[in-house]
Amino acid sequence: MTFAALTGWGKCLPPAILSNEDLSTFLDTNDEWIVQRTGMKERRVSHVPGLMLSTVAAKRALACAGVKAEELDLILYGSCSFDEHVPNTASGLQVAIGAKNAAAMDVNTACTSFLYGMSTATAFIKSGAAKKVLVIGVEHISKFMDWQNRNVSVLFGDGAAAAVFEASDQEEGVIAERLHCFADARQSLRVRGKGASYANVGILYGDTRWDFDGQEIFKKAVTGMGEGSVEVLKKAGVTIDDVGVIVPHQANLRIIEAVVKRAGATMDKVHLTVAKYGNMSAATAPVALVEALEEGKVKPGSLVLIPAFGAGLTMSAHLIRWGGRTTPKEVSDAELPPCERSALDMVRELMALKEPHARSEAALMGARFVEAG
Ligand code: ACO
């Protein structure tokens, strides 16, 4: 039987840090509220496009696996803030790393995109359709942020991570998974301003308004991630005590605490990044996984549990059996170009560019969708 081993991992965080104090210079918010309600202290703002973040992450993951880019059969590029839609961004990454023999596909399930990509990579490898697959989770969400809206703009940040999956005859990689979508709640998170519904109606591209029902998302996230975790453990015939480390999606510390409780675990088993990076959507879980590896929290042969959710509302839960290696084979020297500006300056510039104007506002809020009748 063929399995899909996770053999390479790498992350890339843009260096500019946006603190809670920075946010409170232009929003009616404060550090105490943000920390108490979300567990977040700071997040990153990228000075380069998502493709650059993912190129550095990909080069690091390939070096870690000891795999050359030409060996890749498939690239899965998970994001909801693509640099461009046509051509797809996966093809841009293919050129950037020189993966001349690969197929290239974008995946968008919002925050779970890397994880749906991981399931797809595993299925391709198990079916024999591919042997080596690169999966990316990346967001340049600061570009599409509704910065004036304190309900959402304090929650998100930019980042990227990548993983290499290879065919193996050892039982490793994803050993149980659950993918689902609470589509009846899809209207609870919508980024108005992205997509054909908003084309040719006078909207400045990048100007967005977020429909965001935080409490509804919170409840669905806890239920979905909690039940998904229990289900994958049952499928694999193991208990939570057999799990070495839990690496959840990190949208809110309180969501993580509730999920971990439902799964019957304690917080000392969880690798947390939420305070440092906030919610990086598709990049969140893979960045946390890479960090857990770098900090020695993933032991050879151990089980890693990854529950997640995203807009849609998509959910996922994966149980990974780790292989024998938890350190990189090689280390890449890939780096981002230096960043000359502060995160706050970059955000202020984005806000000035998006200065709301009446026509854009009316078109954004006037758009109607199938479920809105
Ligand atoms: N600073 C200060 N006050 C704020 C802020 C802020 N940044 N944001 C909201 N408030 C106010 C609200 O206006 C409200 O005021 P009111 O009582 O006068 O109306 C008050 O704080 C309480 O707001 P609640 O919504 O009740 O706060 P809650 O404790 O539910 O926390 C939060 C809000 C953090 C959004 C929470 O609901 C949550 O985490 N939801 C899920 C978020 C999430 O997962 N997002 C991403 C999902 S999908 C993806 O990952 C792509």
pLDDT digits (tens, 9 = 90+) for 106-150: 999 999 999 999 999 999 999 999 999 999 999 999 999 999 999
CA distance linking residue 176 with residue 191, whole number of Å: 32
66 lines ligand 1 (CB under 6 A): no
150 lines ligand 1 (CB under 6 A): yes
Of the candidates 6, 93, 356, the one whose C-alpha atom is nearest the C-alpha of residue 204 is 356
Q: Given the DSSP bridges, would you call strands 17-19 and 243-246 parallel, antiparallel or unpaired?
A: unpaired
* Prior bond of 87 cis (ω within 30°): yes
The percentage of residues in the chain with a pLDDT greater than 70, rounded to a whole number, is 98
* DSSP category for residue 241: G
251 lines ligand 1 (CB under 6 A): yes
Q: For the full predicted model, state whether its pTM sits above 0.75.
A: yes
Q: Containing H/E element for 74?
A: strand 74-78
Return the residue whose CA atom lies nearest to atom 13 of ligand 1: 151
Return the residue whose CA atom lies nearest to atom 45 of ligand 1: 251
Instruction: Answer yes or no: is pLDDT of 358 > 70.
Output: no
pLDDT at residue 203, rounded to an integer:
86
pLDDT at residue 200, rounded to an integer:
87
61 phi and psi angles, rounded to 5 deg: -70, -40
Q: Angle CA(176)–CA(53)–CA(58) in degrees, nearest 5? A: 50
Whose structure tokens read 């900090």? Answer: 295
Lowest mean pLDDT among 5-14, 53-62, 206-215: 206-215
pLDDT at residue 372, rounded to an integer:
55
Task: Report pLDDT digits (tens) over 61-101.
Answer: 999 999 999 999 999 999 999 999 999 999 999 999 999 99
Which of 191, 212, 218, 222 is the best mutation target for the ligand 1 pocket, counting ligand atoms within 8 Å of the beta carbon and taking the most? 218
29 lines ligand 1 (CB under 6 A): yes
Which of 24, 151, 186, 250 is the best mutation target for the ligand 1 pocket, counting ligand atoms within 8 Å of the beta carbon and taking the most? 151
Q: Which residues are catalytic?
A: 111, 249, 279
- When pLDDT is cut at 50, 70 and 90, the band that residue 368 belongs to is confident
CA 210 to centroid of ligand 1, rounded, Å: 13
Whose structure tokens read 């993951």? Answer: 61
312 lines ligand 1 (CB under 6 A): no
Extents of the domains making up the chain: 3-357
Residues 6+ apart with CB under 8 A from 210: 146, 149, 151, 152, 189, 190, 191, 192
Task: Report pLDDT digits (tens) over 160-176.
Answer: 999 999 999 999 999 99
When the candidates are 3.40.47.10, 3.30.70.20, 3.40.640.10, 3.40.50.1240, the CATH number that belongs to 3-357 is: 3.40.47.10
151 lines ligand 1 (CB under 6 A): yes
- When pLDDT is cut at 50, 70 and 90, the band that residue 370 belongs to is low
CB atoms within 10 A of CB 106: 22
Beta pairing partners, 199: none
Q: Containing H/E element for 254?
A: helix 253-262
CA 151 to centroid of ligand 1, rounded, Å: 5
